[in-house]
Amino acid sequence: MRAFRCPECRQPVGFEVQRCLACGTAVGYHYPSRQMLSVSGRAGVVVDERQWVRCSHWERGCNWLTAGDCGGGRCFPDSFVRRSPAPDDSEALGELDNTLKALRRLIFQLMDLGLPVRPYYQAEDGLAFDLLSSKSLGGPVMIGHANGVITIDLDESVELYRERLRIRLKEPYRTMLGHFRHEVGHYYEMILVQDTPLAEHARAMFGDEREDYQAALQRHYSGVVPPDWQSTYISEYATAHPWEDFAETFAHYLHITGTLATIADSGLVLQANRVTWDLKAEIDARVSYADATIADIIGDWMPLSSVLNRVNHSMGRDDLYPFSLPPRVVDKLGFIHQVVTTTAVDHAAARQG
């Protein structure tokens, strides 16, 4: 995630910090201006004659500011939560804190990309999150999306629990942010692709989504996987159904563009005259690829992700990005790029209108 400038000492402050480590100034993230602001206790700060105060989840680790006149006290990302654990469920509430951190990262990126980010209480097709604990409910919580509501099992915020699932399901990657990015892919396919002129193009790219979904999942979990799926799909789970292929590809588009934006924001550049292998040109990532092609994105991502994988290896960890991107998958990512960038332009025009 990005770093911001301390409003007092001008040193970098991380996306999720509440206090500058260099000078000790209390800071809060003001999303309309995309800046960290100095905040004074509960009084907050005034921006353009409007008071901004700390999110009601401040004591639970949130550093976002919310408009003092908005009611409810929750910051913008946290307000998307429709259902959460009971106030006396301390174990589940502990899991909620880490899950909300992933949610804020997601909402920040969606806004950064210019996608429409509307909560369920503001729009009929708005987005909602049910963050529930399978332990508290005494039964499994199925992670998924249905008509704009994304359900997440809070137990997955516990690394040991999540890692056991990852191994059992033979997945190379499993994180809370990954779950959010995948499920929001279903949501954006619903509101941006289905029943639009893009639907037929999506079917040509991902397959016919009218295929029986439950039957497709049952077939997948019984072990039926297309031969040589690695040449066509980003992951094994993407082979289950066209909806899952779209959502998995959408998630990887967010993985890639989010990481590239962080690299660019940090000023990291691969200089062709300094690396120890043949590099045709300098790799200078961008914060935004809105005016670029998918070839530009992948051209930057491939060498940079390779470097990041080796950095992980230097710390004794597995690949940061343990996936390959064959041409067919790049084409699918290109479709997602088209959907995102076209929607961002239309969304910006609608807001200005």
pLDDT tens sequence across 42-70: 778 999 889 999 999 999 899 999 998 87
Instruction: Tell me the β-bridge partners of 7.
Output: none
Concatenate the DSSP letters of all residues of 246-274 into one string: HHHHHHHHHHHHHHHHHHHHTT--B-TTT
Residue among 2, 61, 9 nearest 31 (CA): 2
Give percent of the chain above pLDDT 90: 84
Amino acid symbol at 202: A
Question: Is the whole-model pTM more than 0.85?
Answer: yes
Helices 176-192 & 90-112 angle (0-180, nearest 10): 50
Cα four-point dihedral sign 67, 69, 70, 73:
positive
User: What are the structural domain ranges in the chain?
Assistant: 1-76, 77-188, 193-353
pLDDT of residue 236: 94
pLDDT of 71 higher than 80: no
- State yes or no: pLDDT of 352 exceeds 80: no
Q: What is the pLDDT of residues 10-42, one digit of tens each?
A: 999 999 999 999 999 999 999 999 999 999 777
Mean pLDDT calculated for residue range 235-244: 96
**Higher confidence at residue 124 or residue 347?**
124
Q: Which of 83, 45, 86 is nearest to 64 (CA)?
A: 45
- pLDDT band with cut points at 50, 70 and 90 for residue 347: low
Chain mean pLDDT for the chain: 93
pLDDT for 138 equals 81
Q: Tokens 């800046």, residue?
A: 35
Question: DSSP alpha helices (H): ranges in the chain?
Answer: 90-112, 134-137, 159-168, 176-192, 198-206, 213-221, 242-265, 294-314, 327-352
Task: Single out the residue of 3, 15, 237, 202 nearest to residue 106, CA to CA.
Answer: 15
- Torsion of Cα atoms, 154 then 159 then 161 then 167, to 10°: 130
Closest by alpha carbon to 249, among 308, 193, 288?
Answer: 193
pLDDT per position as a tens digit, 270-317: 999 999 999 999 999 999 999 999 999 999 999 999 999 999 999 999
